[in-house]
Structures are given as C-alpha cells and as structure tokens.
Structure 1
Amino acid sequence: MKRQIFLYLFLFTLLLVIFQYMNEKSIFENQENKIDNLRAKLEVAEDSISDLNDKVGELNYFTLQGNENAMSYLESFGYDSNDIEKLVTNQIYDQNLLKGNNPLVPFDGMNGEMKINKLKFLNHKWILADFTDGTYWGEMILEYSIGEDKVLTLNTIASTIYPQ
C-alpha cells in the first residue's frame, strides 16, 4: 500500500513537472517572439530616426545655426549667432506692433494690415519671411546687417504676394 502511494505520488509529481515544463516553455517562446518583434520594430525606428536626422542636417544647411561659415563670420565681429537671431527677430516683430502695415512688407494690406508671421534665417545676411493680412499672404527676402556702431539695418530685397 505504501509502495502504491509512493508510485502514484511519483507519477503525479512527474506529470506536474512535465506540465510546468511545457507551460514555461510556451511562455518563454512567446516572450522570445515578442522580443524579436520589438527588436525588429526598434531597428525600423532607428533607421527612420537616422533618415530624419540626415534630412534635418540637409535642411539646416541653409540656416544661420547650421551654417558654420556664417556663424564664424559673425563671431569674427564679436557677435553670437543666437543673440543676432534674437535681436533681428525682435526688431522685425516689434515693427508688427506699429500702427498700419509692417514697413518691411512692400504691399499694402487689402483686408487688414500686412504683418510678418514667420522668419527663417538663411545665413548671416538674409532672412526668408512670411507675411499676411489675414486673407492675402506672401513671402519676401530681407537683408540684414549690423554696422560698426552696432545699428541693425533691414532691407527688403525681393517679395511676392500670392493670388487668392
């Protein structure tokens, strides 16, 4: 009798061990599959990030902060490119606060006052600007320079307004 109890106990334990082994094996395989899928997604994401970083680098080529020659030019006169961007941006946007059209915009507003919305610094001399009166909008190229007396000069080089 004692021998049969041990036999049944042994078989029961053996079945329990086999069941646990199979269960753990399937859990392990599922986790491995999930890990493999996540690694594949991570690789795709890293490739996308790399491609986007390359594109950002290309887009930043025509910016003041991305143009080493333009930054060196400003530094040779003792200016910091970030400070110059802030100074010029503030002066341009301050002209939006004046009554009437922004004096840098060569068009009169047809449905309101022409104001400059957005600026993109191309280098140490030129800025691309977007302007609108709320209905009509256009773009222009501004030239900026800082004289020896540290006075900022802004000139409109070219502009276009888009038909509605």
Structure 2
Amino acid sequence: MKGKIFLYLFLFMALIALYLFMSNGKMIAAKDAQLEKLDAKIDNLQDSVQQTQLKVLDMQYFSLENNDDALVYYDHLQLEDPSRYIADKLLETNEQKGDNPLIPYEGMESDFKINKIKILNHKWIISDFSDGKYWGELLIKYELNDNLGVDFTLVDHLLYTRSQ
C-alpha cells in the first residue's frame, strides 16, 4: 500500500513538474514576443526623434542664431543675444497708436500689428502680422547701427485674402 501511495505521489509530482515546465516555456515565449515588440517600438521612436531633429536643424538653417558668418557683423557691439535685441526693436514698432508703420495696409477689424518674427540673417527678417481676422507677411531689410539703433525697410509684403 505504501508503494502505491509513493507511486501516485510520484506521478502527481511529475504532472506538476511537467505543467510548470510547459507554462514557464509559454511564459518565456510570451515575454520574448513582448520584448521584441517593445524593441521594435523603441527603434521606431528613435527614428522619429532623429527625423524630428533633422527637421529642426533644417528649419534653423535660415536663422541668425545659427549663422556664424552673420553673427560676426555684431561682434563689436557685444550684444548677448542680437536676435532677441532686433526682434524687440521690431516689436517696439507695434507700440505706436494705430497700424504698425511698416505694414502698408490699414487694419480692417482693428490695427495691424506684427506677431511673429524670424530673423534670417544679418540683413533680413520675415514676419507675420494680423488685425485679429486678416493676416499677412512682411519681408523686412534691417540694419543694426553702431549706436544700437535699428533701421527697418520694407522689402515686400502680402496680405492673405479670405476665400469663402
């Protein structure tokens, strides 16, 4: 009788061991598949980050901050951030009552004011203007003088028309 109990106990333990072995194999396979999916996702995200960084670098190509040749023109002025200084001077033209004097249009809803500014190099700026409903863009030539005054000259402009 003791022999049969040990035999049944041995068979029961063998079945448990077999079950644990099979379930561990399936669990390892499931975890491996999950890791492969996560690795593929990481690779995809790294590619996206790299593409985004390349786009940012491409967009910064025409920028005074990244143009050492253009920045050399302002070395003698010892400005900490020439781009910020020039942008601030351009935004000061918005402080006048009425439309901005650089914008050759009269505001239809309110006064036209400059909103966004992109300083391309040591001579040109592209900017966006709006009156709240209508908008356009300006190409501005500027000159930063030794006395830190900035002279702005409108080169070209456009006003977007609403198509309804």
Q: What range is the shorter-chain TM-score in?
A: 0.7 to 0.9
Paired position in structure 1 for 2:16: 16
Structure 1 range deviating more: 13-22 or 97-106? 97-106
Deviation at 1:98, TM superposition (A): 2.4
Mapped pair 1:100 → 2:98: yes
Distance 1:22 1:147, change over 3 A: same
Mapped pair 1:33 → 2:38: no
Paired position in structure 2 for 1:68: 68
Q: TM-score, normalised by structure 1?
A: 0.88
Distance 1:77 1:88, change over 3 A: closer
1:79-129 deviation per Cα after TM superposition (whole angstroms, max 9, x unaligned): 34xx22222222222332321011221222122111111111111221100
Deviation at 1:68, TM superposition (A): 2.7
User: 1: CA distance between counterparts of 2:95 and 2:73?
Assistant: 31
| Number of residue equivalences | 162
Letter of the aligned partner of 1:55 in structure 2? Answer: K
Q: Which aligned runs of 4 or more in structure 1 are off by greater than 4 angstroms?
A: none
- Any stretches of 5+ residues in structure 2 without a counterpart? none
User: 2: CA distance between counterparts of 1:51 and 1:75?
Assistant: 34
1:126-145 matched pairs, under 5 angstroms: 126-145=124-143
Q: TM-score, normalised by structure 2?
A: 0.88
Contact 1:60/1:67 (CA < 8 Å) preserved in 2?
A: no
User: 1: CA distance between counterparts of 2:21 and 2:76?
Assistant: 73
Deviation at 1:19, TM superposition (A): 0.6
Paired position in structure 2 for 1:49: 49
Structure 1 range deviating more: 44-53 or 115-124? 44-53
Letter of the aligned partner of 1:121 in structure 2? Answer: I
Structure 1 range deviating more: 43-52 or 16-25? 43-52
Contact 2:99/2:106 (CA < 8 Å) preserved in 1?
A: yes
Paired position in structure 2 for 1:157: 155
Paired position in structure 2 for 1:148: 146
Deviation at 1:77, TM superposition (A): 4.4
What secondary structure is seen at the aligned counterpart in 1 of 2:66?
coil
> 1:116 pairs with 101, 114, 117, which one?
114
- Any stretches of 5+ residues in structure 1 without a counterpart? none
Letter of the aligned partner of 2:134 in structure 1? Answer: Y
State the identity as a percent: 35
